[in-house]
Structure formats: structure tokens, C-alpha cells
Structure 1
């Protein structure tokens, strides 16, 4: 059995990405709490927060976090619909997986445009 030739269906890819996005959001909580705390401490700290957010690495991190939030949202809605027996047929499940993947990507691109 050649494990390299096994193709995961789109529904499986969206499921794995849903889990990864959940982990990314959880791991980012300390950073977001720190940035929020820094921004509300005082005016100099707020300015420092703005400078931190202009860093290209931080923008990339925020873009990844935005993708995580939106993908998790759309995939979560997809799973809620599946729980009430909407979209459980294979063609519908495949289409909803593509829609969730595309919607998360599209919203991340919109955030990217807003960050630039």
C-alpha cells in the first residue's frame, strides 16, 4: 500500500483544517490578550501596539489568525447543518466543503486588503 497515492477527499481536508484553525485560535489567545492589555494601558503603550501591528511578520500572523477565524466559522456552520441532516449526501457535502474553504479564503483576502 502506497500512502503517498492516497487522496483525502475535500470533506476530510476541510475537517483537518477546521481542527488546525481551532488550535491556532487557541494558541493565539495569549498574544491577543497581551496586545489588548498593551493597547489599553496608556497612550504610549497604544502607540507601541500600533507600531507592533505594522510589522510585516505581525501582519502575516494576523492574516493567518483571520483565516483561522473565518474558516472555523464557515466550517462550523457546515457541521451544524450536517448535524441537522442538511447536506449529508456526498455531492452536497463536497460542495459545502468547497464553499466553506472558499469563503474562509475570500474573507482572509478581504482582511489582507484591509491590512495593506
Structure 2
């Protein structure tokens, strides 16, 4: 991805993408609670914080900049998402966004929660 495309993604509100995550996982009989578990594992957010992020239309840059604690095991997230290997993405913010995309994708594909959360 080029810097212009990255910047466009960084400015997107999390709230605008969140319904797509929900639709994707629910089509595969996964729950919103599981989606939240994945988001909380990655970012350290909790239910109240996530609700505020959605209500306040926080963009992806701020979503990750203000995350309480990026999980120490994010380096264990590997594989291809959107045509890119997540472990090879050079821009740190884009890599975090793709980590989230990868986790949501694994959830939708029916992967066991222990494997998704790298337990």
C-alpha cells in the first residue's frame, strides 16, 4: 500500500468498519461477544471503552494510539490478509490494523478461540 492509501485508512472511523466485522463473523455463526474478546485481547480495551470509541467515531489512528495495551503476543499473528503478509507490513499502524483484520478473519473462518488468541 502507498502512503496515500494508508492515510485514508488511518482516518477511517472504527465505527464505520465495526458493523462489517459484525456482519462477517455473524454470517459464520460467531458472536459479537467473541468479536469483542478478540478486540480486547489485541488492544486492552474493555466494553465501556469500545462503546465510547464507536459513539465518538474515533479513527483507526486514535483507536490504536490510545489502546491501553497492545497484546505482547501480537508478533505471533502471522499470515496473509488483504494480499499482504501481516508480519512483513512496514508501517506500524497499518500492521496493527491488519492484525485486527487477521484476527476477525480467523474468527469468521471458525478457528478455535485459543488459537486466535495465541494461547
Would you call these one fold, judging by a TM-score over 0.5?
no
**TM-score, normalising length: structure 1:** 0.34
**TM-score, normalising length: structure 2:** 0.34
**Rg (Cα) greater in structure:** 1
Which structure: greater helix fraction?
1
